[in-house]
Amino acid sequence: MQTIFSYIDRDTFVHRLHPVTKLGHVLLTLIIILIPYGPTLESALALSVWLAFSAVLWGIAGISLRQFWSLFKILLATFVFLILIQGFMYRGGEPLLVLGHLPISGGADLGVVTDAGLLFGLLLCVRVLVAVSALPLFISTTTISRVMAALNSMGVPNRFTFMFVSSLSFTNLIFEMWNSIIEAQKLRAFDIESMPLWQRARRAYVPVIVPLILLLFRKGNDLEVALKSRAFGSTHRPTQVEVLEVTWRDHLMVAVMLGVFGLCLWIRLFWK
């Protein structure tokens, strides 16, 4: 099943970029969202420009809007919560809706929704959206082997990159096992998914976790045999099989990225 966190096999401009260039996009995104923002139009504009830039990259990478929509749906409840909580809790701004008066320390009134509160809530949502739009773009357009090669090229030891990759495949394995065990226990009239939360916490996970741990020990043992049988840990210097090259695409992308980043900073800091 295709998810927002799985690789999409295409041959696009974004796919061909050096993974480090794409990691640069993730890094700049992090910087963008960490800049302090107030409930102002320029803050909204700065964030929107970067979000639009990411959306364009999604489009170039051939990631369908449906994927973006899936991401949005996952976060929708968080957004509603953020907007409401900021709407009621934010100090300052003009009242939009008065439900009563419940003043709390610091000057906020829990009974009043303000325009600045709503805008600040909305801005927080956009920040979350900006933050989560960068990583799926990287994962959807970069094969794990290229990620490994990039990490190696950045000086990360081979052992660590392998641990990263094998933990990814083990995560998949754990999910599969987890589902199989839940199904197997359902066949004995033990349905963890339909239990109330307190009951799950009390006893439900033992029949799932015990078989999972025992099976993982066995799989781990098999994996060790398979690894050792293929000379893992040999004293030779491992050969880098995946070749990564910096091309004109990377130069262009870095230039555009820095340009848009600069524009966002200028809007946030100097635009009136």
Partner 1 sequence: MNLTISRGEFVAVFGANGAGKSTLCYLLSGMIPNIYGGRRRGRVEVCGIDPWDHPINEIAQRCCMVLQDPEAQLFMPSLEMELAFGPANLGVPREEIMRRVEEALEVVGLKGLNRRNTNALSGGQKQRAALASVLTILPDLLVLDEPTSQLDPLGTKEVLEAIRNVREGHQVSILMTTHKTEEVMGLVDRCMVLKEGRVVALGPPEEVLSQVDLLEEAGVQPPTTARVFSAVSPWLPRGEALRPEADPDRAAGSLRRLLGAGALRLVPREVPESPGADAVGEPILQVQEVTFSYPGTPPVTALKEVSLDIRQGEFVGLIGQNGSGKSTLVKALVGLLRPQRGRILFKGEDLSRLSVGNIATRVGLVLQNPDYQLFSISAEREIAFGLENIGLAPERREERIHEVLEMVGLEHVRETFPFKLSFGDRRKLAVAAVLALGPEVLIMDEPTTAQDYRGRYLLAELAQRLRERDDRTIIMISHDMDLIARYADRLVVMYEGRVLLDGPTREVFREAEALRKTFLAPPTATQLAAGLASEGMPADLLTVDELLARLEKGGH
Options 39-47, 53-61, 188-196, 255-263: segment touching partner 1 (CB under 8 A):
188-196
Please report where in the chains the tokens 């929708």 appear, as a residue. Answer: 76
End-to-end CA distance of the chain: 47
What is the distance, to the nearest Å, from the Cα of residue 136 to the centroid of all Cα atoms in its chain?
A: 6
* By the rule CB under 8 A, 65 interacts with partner 1: no
Question: Interaction with partner 1 in 77-96: which residues (CB under 8 A)?
Answer: none
Interacting residue with partner 1 among 31, 227, 256, 269 (CB under 8 A): 227
243 binds partner 1 (CB under 8 A): yes
184, 246, 252, 256: which one binds partner 1 (CB under 8 A): 184
How far is it, in rounded angstroms, from Cα 58 to Cα 65?
Answer: 8
Please tell me the distance from the alpha carbon of residue 146 to that of residue 116, in angstroms, as a whole number. Answer: 45
In this chain, which stretch among 46-54, 101-109, 126-134, 185-193 interacts with partner 1, using CB under 8 A?
Answer: 185-193
Among 106, 230, 248, 270, binds partner 1 (CB under 8 A): 230
Residue closest to 131 by CA, chosen among 190, 82, 88: 82
State the minimum distance, in angstroms, from the CB of residue 163 to partner 1.
Answer: 11
* 69: contact with partner 1 by CB under 8 A: no
CA distance 96 to 175: 47
Alpha helices for 102-196 (secondary structure H): 115-141, 144-153, 158-186
Q: Judged by CB under 8 A, does residue 166 bind partner 1?
A: yes
Task: Tell the residue number behind the tokens 């709390």, with chain if given.
Answer: 104
For partner 1, which is the closer residue by CB, 126 or 147? 147
Contacts with partner 1 in 118-147 (CB under 8 A)?
143-145
With 0-12 / 13-18 / 19 or more C-beta atoms within 10 angstroms meaning exposed / middle / buried, residue 76 is exposed
**Binding residues for partner 1, per CB under 8 A?**
1-2, 7, 9, 143-145, 165-166, 168-169, 172-173, 177, 180-181, 183-191, 194, 206-207, 210-211, 214-215, 218-219, 221-243
